[in-house]
Amino acid sequence: MRKLLIVCLLGAVSCAATNRAGGLYEDSSRSFSIMIPQGWERVNIEKYLLITRDGPFSHYILVQDFNVDKKFNHTYKRFHRDMLPQETSEVIIDEISSDRAISSFQLCENVPITINTYDGFRLVFTYNTADGTGHKTLYYGFLIDDIFYSIRYNTCNGYNDQRDVASFQEVLNSFKVLHARAM
């Protein structure tokens, strides 16, 4: 009986924490929609949308909307509404490279790109976290009016799954800005 109770509790906790959710994602608290690839699950984190197939310690796709007036964690720089994609990318680079929790930050690429009709940038960078984990990130970002949107794909410790290329592209292509909202 006790074992059954524990199993039930564990089941309840895992259900609450993640959602198997292939298909369209729209949430009233977010100003965007995306298509979640089949087989990927959503991890409930309030500040951003995080989806993964094999677990966030291996890989994840993270989508976030961020008001230009908000402060960053590590840099005092701020977004301005008239910033060019290159300028917003530089703010993001400074934010990441100023983070004292990471080391060996290396920027491999910073190029302009169009993300489903939106002018933005793509960064490719690597870094290590304090526990020694190596990360590689593809970071897409663009600014529309008051909101900065970022879509990133991150892998940990050399995780490599070719299926992810198509999945991430699916997310990028399906990304839509729904409405500007006060965040």
Partner 1 sequence: MQHTRQPCRNEVITRRAGLEACMPCPGIRSGWRDQAEMDLVGGLSSGASLKTRWVIPIIGAFFVSSLTACVSVGGLYSAPGDTGRPAEEWLLRQRAEHEQRAMEEQGLIYEDEQLEHYLTQLARSLQPPEVRKGTSFRVKVIKNTSADALSFPNGALYITTGMLARLENEAQLAILLAHEMTHCNNEHALRALRYCRETVSAGSKLYGPGRGGQVPGALQWGTSPPALEAYLEELELDADRGALQLVLRAGFDATEGLKLIECQQRDLDKEDLEEASRSALHRHLEKRRESWRMLLDRWTQSEPRRLADRETYVAQVHRVILDNALLDERRGRFSLAEREVENYLAVRPNDESAYYLLGEICRQRGLLSDRSKAKKCYAKAISIRPYYADPYRGMGLLYYKEGEKTQARMSFQAYLSHAPAAPDKAYIEKYLTTCN
Q: What residues line the site for partner 1 (CB under 8 A)? A: 13, 17, 43-45, 47-48, 50, 56-57, 60, 62, 64, 66, 70-78, 80, 82-87, 92, 94-102, 110-112, 127, 129, 131, 133, 135, 137, 139, 148, 150, 152, 154, 156
Task: State how far Cα 136 lies from the chain centre.
Answer: 13
Instruction: Quote the least distance from Cβ 169 to partner 1, whole Å.
Output: 20
Which C-beta is closer to partner 1: that of 25 or that of 148? 148
| Closest by CA position to 43, among listed 69, 27, 61, 26 | 61
Instruction: Quote the least distance from Cβ 170 to partner 1, whole Å.
Output: 21
Which C-beta is closer to partner 1: that of 95 or that of 170? 95
- List C-alpha distances in Å: 56 to 60, 89, 144: 5, 24, 28
d(CA 106, CA 90) in angstroms, rounded, equals 14
Which C-beta is closer to partner 1: that of 24 or that of 69? 69
Determine the residue type at 158. G
Instruction: Quote the least distance from Cβ 17 to partner 1, whole Å.
Output: 6
Instruction: Quote the least distance from Cβ 6 to partner 1, whole Å.
Output: 17
Are the beta carbons of 73 and 83 closer than 8 angstroms? Answer: no
Cross-strand bridge partners of residue 106? 126
